[in-house]
Structure 1
Amino acid sequence: MVPFSNAAAAYANAAGQGLRSATKPAETDGPAFGDVLKEAAESAIDTMHRGEAMTAKGVLGKADLSDVVNAVTNAEMTLQAVVNVRDRVISAYQEILRMPM
């Protein structure tokens, strides 16, 4: 039979190792998650600006109609993608809130 003090010490040691590894960020070869999100957001904003600029050129008669339609379609698809990602993030956050502590 294992003495209680040995079992408690082993448990504390294991818990301490888990905390140390949890607080140390994992090293990866790829870009940081925040950088990926920042790049995606900037790309979406640029696409929306191009759609807006092309629409303004179309109103002034300085752009081909097919270019305007393509730019607006790209902007619309980008907006739908952003809304879908937002919905997924909110859903994941709500799921985390429902988890028992």
Structure 2
Amino acid sequence: MSIEVGPKAAAAAYRKALERIAGPGGAGAEASQPMASFGELVKHQLSDAIGAGRLAEQRSTDALVGKADLQQVVEAVTAAELNLSTVTAVRDRVVAAYQEIMRMPM
């Protein structure tokens, strides 16, 4: 099963991640605070993906013992899949950019 991440979804995820890093002040806070590095952005996205995966596992376990219903499991698994596909898409873009830079003549 494959999930396609289009440009709009990727842009929305990137914007959401930047807002989370900037903190609760939104765009106004960006002027007074330095912009987060790309490494910090990737770190936050990875931690979100790991957290979503753990939540999906917990919901699945809860469903096995009768503490969660199927809808909660599906929502958690879908969120984990979306987070993982977003991180994978960013990784693929970074690798492609690196390869393009390496092809440039010196």
Would you call these one fold, judging by a TM-score over 0.5? yes
Residue 51 of structure 2 is matched in structure 1 by 46
SS of alignment partner, residue 42 of structure 1: helix
What CA distance in whole angstroms lies between the structure 1 residues aligned with 2:38 and 2:87? 16
* Greater RCO, 1 or 2 (C-alpha within 8 Å, sep 6+): 2
Contact preservation (8 Å) 2:45, 2:87: no
What CA distance in whole angstroms lies between the structure 2 residues aligned with 1:88 and 1:36? 14
| Length-normalised TM-score, structure 1 | 0.65
Q: In percent, how many aligned pairs have the same letter?
A: 46
Cα offset, 1:33, TM superposition: 2.8
Single out whichever of 71-80 and 30-39 deviates more from structure 2.
Answer: 30-39
Cα offset, 1:62, TM superposition: 1.4
Name the Cα RMSD after superposition.
1.5
What CA distance in whole angstroms lies between the structure 1 residues aligned with 2:42 and 2:84? 15
Cα offset, 1:97, TM superposition: 1.0
Residue 63 of structure 1 is matched in structure 2 by 68
Q: Looking at CA atoms only, which structure, 1 or 2, has the larger radius of gyration? A: 1
Any unmatched runs of 5+ in structure 2? 1-32
The amino acid across from 1:34 in the alignment is G
Any unmatched runs of 5+ in structure 1? 1-27
Cα offset, 1:85, TM superposition: 1.1
Cα offset, 1:53, TM superposition: 1.0
